[in-house]
Structure 1
């Protein structure tokens, strides 16, 4: 399993780290000043600062796009909340044109706070 990423650095902290690096502080010295930030996070923040368009925004994380759009997710929520809370999972899959597998639909229902019981 790949290592899990921690939370992103706050833009203010990232700006302070980049500013210290621009006045020739070493990565280790910055790490001593901010021990709660790992050394690798400091290095990555400084290296990626040049590629950021807007200095305050975090670049989006990589990954595959969601198979269910927000419209589909809203449609599923409407069905399981208002129209038919006792709908079977396979019927729910037909409502979204079988774009996802049944396990993904179960996770979506749990995420929406609507568990579907067997």
Structure 2
């Protein structure tokens, strides 16, 4: 269904571009256009305007239909449905400890790489109130 709608959408896009390019220029865009062309006269201009409006409407309808199809074909995902193992800290990662700074974490990573035992995180000094 989606493939058929995409093909139909592309045909509408090509027809819309061709219809817009066939229309007569209305005013001095750097001195080009405005002369006699393939489609002249008010009758053809009204037909092209109507065709442009119809193709534009079809373009929006097929765009919305493709969006809705993509939305309904997508499987719902929830962070809460993920198993607990995937939310855990990855192997080899340094767990973040409360009160530790980025520098403390980097020092722990370096100590783990060098094979030294990780030191206890430094606790920030709390000023004493008097």
Higher relative contact order (CA 8 A, sep 6+): 2
Instruction: Give the TM-score normalised by structure 1.
Output: 0.23
The structure whose Rg is larger is 2
The two structures have a TM-score, normalised by structure 2, of: 0.22
